[in-house]
Structures are given as C-alpha cells and as structure tokens.
Amino acid sequence: MTSGLVLYGYWRSSAAYRVRIALNLKGLGYQNRPVHLVKDGGEQHASAYAAMNPQQLIPSLRDGDRTLTQSLAIIEYLEELHPEPPLLPVDARGRAQVRAMAQLVACDVHPLGNLRVLQYLESELGADEAQRGAWSRHWIATGFAALEAILADNAATGGFCHGDTPGMADACLIPQVYNARRWKLPLDDYPTIRRIDAACSELQAFRMAAPEAQPDAPAVQG
Amino acid sequence: MTSGLVLYGYWRSSAAYRVRIALNLKGLGYQNRPVHLVKDGGEQHASAYAAMNPQQLIPSLRDGDRTLTQSLAIIEYLEELHPEPPLLPVDARGRAQVRAMAQLVACDVHPLGNLRVLQYLESELGADEAQRGAWSRHWIATGFAALEAILADNAATGGFCHGDTPGMADACLIPQVYNARRWKLPLDDYPTIRRIDAACSELQAFRMAAPEAQPDAPAVQG
C-alpha cells in the first residue's frame, strides 16, 4: 500500500528501526530518506532538517504537510490512523504493559547509548573506547535484566512480548537486541528475549526493517 | 474521588512528579507510598519493591492487584480509564504532537540526569560534582532549546504546551523545569517554557504535586 509517508532515518538508528518495523507490520509503504548521522558533522544538524525536527534527531516521519517526531509518538499515530493489524492489545492493562516494556527500552536504555551521548562522554569526560563500551553494555544489561524478569513473570507473554502477534514492545526490543550484539553484550542471561528475537527474525516485516537491509547501509559494516 | 490507587514515588523524582500531576488533573485520589531513593542504598532495590517493579525504578502505581510502571504508560492508562478531563487532544496529529513533546522530555532529557546515571558517572568515570552538573545542564539545555523552538513555532501552543488546558506534555515539562532550577540552568533562553511553567504554577493540581508539597520532602531541602 502506498501511503505518501516519508521516513527520515538512518540504517543503524535504533529509533528509526522501530518505526520501520511498525510501518512494515502495518503494511504501509513509505519513501526512505536517509540522514547520515556522521558525515559532514551529521546531516541531522543541517538547517533544512533542523527546521523540520528541532531536536536534530532521527527519525522524522512526513505525512503530507505534517512532520511527526519521536518514534513512540509516531507508532501511536500510525496505530490510531491505521489500526489493523494492531500493535497494542485491546485491554487497558495490556496496553499499559506493552507501553511500559516499550518505554523501558525507549526511555531507560536506548537514550543512554545514543551517538550524541557517546560523543559527550568522549569529548567532555575523556571516556575511551573501552569505557564507552562498558557504559553501553551496562545500561543495556540493566534494562534487559528487568525486561527478562517482566517477560518471564507475565502470563500474557507469548511467542512475542505480549501474546502471539508482534507489537509495539517487539518493535522496540529487536533494535535494542541489535545494539546489544553490536556492543558484544552476551545474551545468555536473557532466554525469553532471545526467543522473541528469534521469532521476530523469521518475519518479513522485521527482516525488511533490519539495518543491513537499508539502502544507506555500507557494503562493509563496522 | 477515592480510587484505590497507590502511588510508589519519591518527592523529588521527576517521573513520580509527572504521575502526581496527571492524577491531580483528573481529580483521582491516591495513597502516597514514599520510596526513599538514597537511604539504605535505595529502598527501590529492596526485594519487595523489586518484585513489583523489576526495573527498581519509581514510580509504580498499584491499581487493585495490578502494578503499572513507566510514568508515560501510567498516564496513558489513566487517560483510557478516566478520560475526563483529557490530557491528550482529540485529533491524531495533536495527540502525536503532545506525545512527542512528552517523550522529548521523558526519553531524551530526563533519563540522562537520573540518579543512577549520575552515580555511574561518578563511580565509573570519575566525574566530579562540577562535571556532573555540567552534564545535567547540557542535556536539559539541549532538550529545552528544541522544545522552545517547537512550542514557539506551533499554532497549537496556547496557555499550555497544547491549547489552553494542561495535558501530558505539561505534566512532563514542569518536573523538568524543577530539575533545571535545581541544577541552576538559566532559563532566559526559553520564554515560552517559562510562561507555561508560570501558568501551571497557578494551578492546584500542579501545586499539590510539587516536590516540596510531598509528605516525604525533608524540612530543609538540599
């Protein structure tokens, strides 16, 4: 389905990856406009992009004359306008649970490992590569330990984070698993997370959204 | 209105402060159960609390036999079960805009200045008090510059972040303004944020939610 949606993203951005998964799960086509986060000091800081997204972060989603920002707000917007298939359960408690798992990743894990934070740690606090790696692994491990406990303890956990269809929590979790692997965090302690990651990796919506499947992914990835 | 809700919070926690504002705006009574984040290594790490909230973070909201976590998920839950007065606009684009502003604070500003992060900066990276202060001010200033631009540029901005009634974005912004003052960040560059903060400070819902109005606030505040 062609939707007229335009996604400003970056192949390896966790937040853009979430939105790609949501768009694919809903079967919404979109134009992909890569924003290179490193080249020329970061294309997200260019004036045309900054005018559209004053945070100078990605992703942004254009829908007609309107720019939407913040990955979870974008996913909620897609859910409201294109309710099928749903990415949130029908009951308020289930919805709260899925949103909480999504926010565990999107508020308490991912922002700490973001590029701009790692750049600050290096330039202002002199953190070397090993310290930046330890920092990133620490916050992912802290978040994953909690999420594993939540998933393992909840009767609503199914083949995916909530029940047997993928939703908003899975769209946040899988990009964070990708980051965990990138930072070489062992995943042995998180069997439920590994199981859900394996289930998602079988689905076309997740495969098409993966960093290495994006047009701006380099041929050799660092 | 007595609701049977129990809020586990801390007087100075930004995330608990958000939920208190939302509960007050909706006129929902609740029991306040303070969790001391520093005493005895942090009461949020005690086994009874950790069993309820595996992230060992506050707030948690008990509603009957159910524990809800993550402040924005809690506010969405309250909005679904107690829709009046609404904390989100009726239109999807307005809702996306309010959620994006809320998440700008809740994902990209607040988690970076959280207690556990400052503790890590000190213990693992040797950041002294001045460096931790600079870190906190940097991320608040970065977020506020973007939010000020968003608010100043949007015709939907009114007496509050969206229109002339307070909502989810205001519930996130005001606790962050409190943090900004605590870190002595000058607010001169953010006139719209200051105007909205002043408007909120006139409202009983915000006054009752303020840190200094909480039962666990110390008589002399550091």
Positions of CATH 1.20.1050.10 in chain A: 92-207
Length of chain A in residues, anyone? 222
The answer to whether B145 faces chain A, any CB pair under 8 Å, is yes
Query: What's the rounded Cα separation, in Å, for the pair B96 and B98?
Result: 6
Helix axes A168-182, A71-81, angle to 10 degrees: 150
Query: What's the rounded Cα separation, in Å, for the pair A83 and A208?
Result: 21
- Considering only CB atoms, which chain B residues are within 8 Å of A54? 145-147, 149-150, 153
Helix (H) or strand (E) holding B118: helix B115-125
Confidence (pLDDT) at A40:
82
- Considering only CB atoms, which chain B residues are within 8 Å of A149? 54
Edge-to-edge, what's the strand order for the sheet holding B60-63? Answer: B30-34, B5-9, B60-63, B66-69
Give per-residue pLDDT as tens, A39-98.
888 899 999 999 999 999 999 999 999 999 999 999 999 999 999 999 999 999 999 999
Can you read off the two tokens belonging to residue A2?
């062609």
Query: Choosing among A14, A57, A70, A98, which should be mutated to test the B contact, i.e. which has the most B CBs within 10 A?
Result: A70
Query: What's the rounded Cα separation, in Å, for the pair B106 and B217?
Result: 23
Can you read off the two tokens belonging to residue A26?
């809903």
**Contact across the interface for A112 and B107, Cβ inside 8 Å:** no
Chain A 97-136, CB below 8 Å of chain B: which residues? 97, 99-100, 102-104, 106-108, 110-112, 117, 120-121, 124-125, 127, 131, 134-135
Considering the segment(s) A92-207 as one domain, its CATH architecture is: Up-down Bundle (1.20)
Query: What's the rounded Cα separation, in Å, for the pair A82 and A5?
Result: 13
**Contact across the interface for B70 and A107, Cβ inside 8 Å:** yes
CA distance B68 to chain A (A): 7
- Considering only CB atoms, which chain A residues are within 8 Å of B81? 92
* Nearest Cβ partner for B107 among A81, A111, A138: A111
One-character DSSP codes across A9-51:
E-TT-HHHHHHHHHHHHTT--EEEEE--SSGGG-GGGSHHHHH
Query: What's the rounded Cα separation, in Å, for the pair A161 and A147?
Result: 10
Helix axes B129-153, B168-182, angle to 10 degrees: 140
Helix (H) or strand (E) holding B207: helix B204-209
B222: confidence class by pLDDT, cuts 50, 70, 90:
low
Give per-residue pLDDT as tens, B50-66.
999 999 999 999 999 99
The CATH topology of domain B5-85 is Glutaredoxin (3.40.30)
Can you read off the two tokens belonging to residue B169?
């974005």
**Contact across the interface for B77 and A96, Cβ inside 8 Å:** yes
Chain B 27-56, CB below 8 Å of chain A: which residues? 54-56
Query: What's the rounded Cα separation, in Å, for the pair B111 and B139?
Result: 10
- Work out the average pLDDT over A94-115: 97
Phi-psi region of A157 (alpha: psi -120 to 50; beta: other; left: phi over 0): beta
Confidence (pLDDT) at B136:
98
Query: What's the rounded Cα separation, in Å, for the pair B136 and B179?
Result: 9
Query: What's the rounded Cα separation, in Å, for the pair A42 and B120?
Result: 28
Distance of CA A43 to the CA centre of its chain: 20
Share of chain B above pLDDT 90, in %: 91
Interacting residues of A120 by C-beta distance below 8 A, sequence separation 6+: B135, B138
Give per-residue pLDDT as tens, B10-28.
999 999 999 999 999 999 9
Query: What's the rounded Cα separation, in Å, for the pair A145 and A119?
Result: 26
Confidence (pLDDT) at A69:
97
Query: What's the rounded Cα separation, in Å, for the pair B39 and B69?
Result: 22
Q: Reduced to 3 states, what is the DSSP secondary structure of residue A61?
A: strand
Query: What's the rounded Cα separation, in Å, for the pair B192 and B172?
Result: 15
CA distance B219 to chain A (A): 31
Confidence (pLDDT) at B128:
97
Sign of torsion over alpha carbons B125, B127, B133, B135:
negative
Share of chain A above pLDDT 90, in %: 92
- Average pLDDT value over all residues in chain B: 95
Confidence (pLDDT) at B41:
85
Q: Reduced to 3 states, what is the DSSP secondary structure of residue B38?
A: coil
Whether residue B209 has pLDDT greater than 70 = yes
CA atoms within 13 A on the CB side of B18: 31
- Considering only CB atoms, which chain B residues are within 8 Å of A189? none
Query: What's the rounded Cα separation, in Å, for the pair A149 and B139?
Result: 30
- Work out the average pLDDT over B104-116: 96
**Contact across the interface for A100 and B70, Cβ inside 8 Å:** yes
- Work out the average pLDDT over B106-117: 96
Query: Choosing among B53, B58, B69, which should be mutated to test the A contact, i.e. which has the most A CBs within 10 A?
Result: B69
Positions of CATH 3.40.30.10 in chain B: 5-85
Task: Give the single-character DSSP code of B123.
Answer: H
A37: confidence class by pLDDT, cuts 50, 70, 90:
confident
Query: What's the rounded Cα separation, in Å, for the pair A61 and A37?
Result: 17
B139 to A45, B133, B170: CA distances (angstroms): 16, 10, 19
Phi-psi region of B64 (alpha: psi -120 to 50; beta: other; left: phi over 0): left
Of B104, B96, B196, B181, nearest to B144 (Cα)?
B104
